Structure 1
Amino acid sequence: MLDGLDRVPWAELTHAYGRANDVPDLIRRIGGPDEEDALYALYELRARILHQGNVCPATAPAVPFLAALLDHPATTDPGGIAHLLGDMAQIVDPDHPVLAALRRTVTAEVDRLLPLLAAAEPWSRLAAAYALGQCPERAGDILPALRDRWTVETDDQARGALVIAAAALDPATALLAEALGEGQPGPVRAAAALAAARAPAPWPGEVAVAAVRAGWADGDHWLDRASDEYGIQIGPYLWNWDPIEDLFDHLTPADQPAVVAALLASTDPAVRAKAADCGGEPVDR
């Protein structure tokens, strides 16, 4: 499973805390039988190779070995691994050669991420969708898998993640229109509104505003800042720290007032307060 791990010249590579010769041991522990130690090792590895979102020379070489752990049924936290891979591939500037290369490295592991869409734990399915949505070069393979999972997915947040991922790969995906519809649960409609805002396409107007109104009617089902014992955010909204802030960050000034009004109709005072405080910067569409 980890063939070649020791052939990588880790001591010649660096991470956030110096030489990367401790990376092989951390990767082995992530795949080890001790659940608590595996979670701690994943936390430690993230802190080293993606410290505060910064990429280092040891980041890309670790990717294939992390992905290999997804093939092992005894891996403790496949969702956490998928989350880390997705964060690696979530590139702000794809023209930056190092970041573009890292996304390609993660994209090379799509075939190992796809089976995770059917994992037993909703968290793993959500994280898999998140990671897959960062791999546009394999959109032709990923989009049908997202659609197939949509037909059987029963967890609202995992279902919403499928929509966000699909819209990131194809703004014209039929999943987005379906998820915006009145027949979907609130968390799914909220996810669809977020997906529509993030997509490089015009905001769909009233249908999306109606989804915002329904999606946040009784609270923010996507704002859960719970973390594991090591302080890593474990979901559900992996795309940004705050869903409503992310929504406004992607809306044009002309589209914001109707969304504010929709959120102010929520029964949750926290949602109303956030709506009153938020205002996005102008964005290009």
Structure 2
Amino acid sequence: MTGWSAMAGTHEFVVPDDTHAHQLADALASHGFAYVTGRKSRRGGWVVTAVDDGPYPADATGHRMIEAVGRAAAVIARQHGGYAEGGSRCDVSQLQIIRGPDAPIVCTNPGARPPTPTIVVVAPPPATALALTPDHAEDKPIDLSGLDEVPWPELGHAHGDAEDIPGLLRALADPFGDWDQTLAELFGDDLLHQGTCYSATAPALPFLSRMIASGALPARQRLDLCVWLLYAADRWADGLLADADRAAVEGRPPQPQAWTLDVHLAVDELVPALLTRWETEPPAVRFALACLAALFPHHGRQIGDRITSMAQGFDGTEPGAYLRLAEALVHTRDDEALAVATDIVAWEESHDPDWLNAADLVVGVRAGHVLAEGALRPLSNTE
């Protein structure tokens, strides 16, 4: 966004055929979009694109405004058998480019602009550093027994079969090795590449739990592993939320992405042992454990009172807000969780409000995703 004078963009919707495309294009033009096109999709169906001339401020408020206009357009799309499928953002000077070449369907409404709701964007509460001390790491071996019994060559990751995973896990178990590079290769490149799960992802996670529970790694490394477990567990909810609009139009429940349920269930099995470390971990790792507990409240209730106490200690701060959300989720207080999550998504440059409006998904999934995605903000501020 740097250097943009003002923002414009597009909203795209998928409909089943050209009849629906004509109807939706007409409806979006009538709603106030000055230029709407429809064309056949290579993946089946038709794509209807509403060009949103704006202009919107090139800042967080502007993004929220154009997103709100897109949500209103998505309601119209659902009335015509369509669902949202992304869009684009650009400087207003690029409007002619994003209009693109002529399409089979073109509807215009010169000079019109769709209704723009009033958006209130608030700054997050003060960021407070989460301590990584005291740290009680011990110099002792980590039990990786059973690692070679997993049929890794029969499993896959982002770049092929997973026969290299045992070596990477062993390298990760060395606290004095090239930690950052190994962790990035293992998860960022292989097992959770761009948020995608693979058949080898779930089988690798128990070994992370053992590394954390061993107490042999320093607190910074234990925290890194907890964050990856949190991110992995949330891929299931992320997929459900991404499919929610399409599922609503097609009259079916939202479906997760491949392997994400296996990964979610794998983390579920690991959480009880991890939570037993609460008393020995420093605040930064406790914060990550609180977030994990919130995604699995049937386990998390065992530390519910500790999460409450920690939330009170960070009251009025950014970590405190996420801890209050974790507390509400652990105790399955849906109304409170939804209220806290709603406050959080109003923060400047924070979360997508659509997460809380997704159809046919329980509050725990929607608000839990806000927590899991947002936890990275406070955890980036440790000392």
Check the 8 A contact 2:213/2:274 in 1, yes or no. no
* Distance 1:250-1:58 versus aligned 2 partners, 3 A rule: closer
Displacement of 1:41 in angstroms is 1.3
Instruction: State percent identity of aligned pairs.
Output: 30
Matched position secondary structure for 1:32? coil
Displacement of 1:251 in angstroms is 6.2
Deviation per CA, 1:9-31, whole angstroms, max 9, x where unpaired? Answer: 11111100111111112112222
Match of 1:271 in 2: none
One-letter identity of the residue aligned with 2:354: D
Check the 8 A contact 2:157/2:191 in 1, yes or no. yes
Displacement of 1:101 in angstroms is 2.6
Check the 8 A contact 2:311/2:321 in 1, yes or no. no
1:85 equivalent in alignment to 2:229 = yes
Displacement of 1:160 in angstroms is 3.3
* Structure 1 gap segments, 5+ residues each: 178-191, 198-207, 221-241, 253-285
Deviation per CA, 1:62-102, whole angstroms, max 9, x where unpaired? Answer: 11111111112231411111111111111223854832232
Work out the CA distance in 2 between the residues paired with 1:139 and 1:88: 17
Displacement of 1:134 in angstroms is 2.0
1:11 equivalent in alignment to 2:153 = yes
Larger RCO, structure (CA 8 Å, separation 6 or more)? 2
Match of 2:294 in 1: 133
Match of 1:42 in 2: 183
- How many residue pairs get aligned? The number is 195
Displacement of 1:32 in angstroms is 0.8
1:61 equivalent in alignment to 2:209 = no
Matches within 5 A, 1:98-247: 98-118=259-279, 121-150=282-311, 156-172=317-333, 195-197=340-342, 242-243=349-350, 245-246=351-352
* Distance 1:128-1:158 versus aligned 2 partners, 3 A rule: farther
Question: Normalization by structure 2: what TM-score?
Answer: 0.44
State the superposition RMSD in angstroms: 3.4
Work out the CA distance in 1 between the residues paired with 2:224 and 2:280: 13
Work out the CA distance in 1 between the residues paired with 2:316 and 2:153: 43
Question: Which has the higher mean CA deviation after the structures are superposed, 66-75 or 85-94?
Answer: 85-94
1:23 equivalent in alignment to 2:165 = yes
* Structure 2 gap segments, 5+ residues each: 1-142, 241-253, 358-383
Check the 8 A contact 1:117/1:125 in 2, yes or no. yes
Check the 8 A contact 1:80/1:127 in 2, yes or no. no
* Distance 1:2-1:98 versus aligned 2 partners, 3 A rule: same
* Distance 1:142-1:121 versus aligned 2 partners, 3 A rule: closer
Where has structure 1 moved over 6 Å in runs of 4 or more? none
Work out the CA distance in 1 between the residues paired with 2:266 and 2:211: 16
Deviation per CA, 1:234-261, whole angstroms, max 9, x where unpaired? Answer: xxxxxxxx42x43x33567xxxxxxxxx
Check the 8 A contact 1:10/1:20 in 2, yes or no. yes
Displacement of 1:128 in angstroms is 2.2
Matched position secondary structure for 1:133? helix
Check the 8 A contact 2:169/2:207 in 1, yes or no. yes
* Distance 1:139-1:117 versus aligned 2 partners, 3 A rule: closer
Indicate the structure with greater helix content.
1
Displacement of 1:106 in angstroms is 0.3
Matched position secondary structure for 1:25? helix
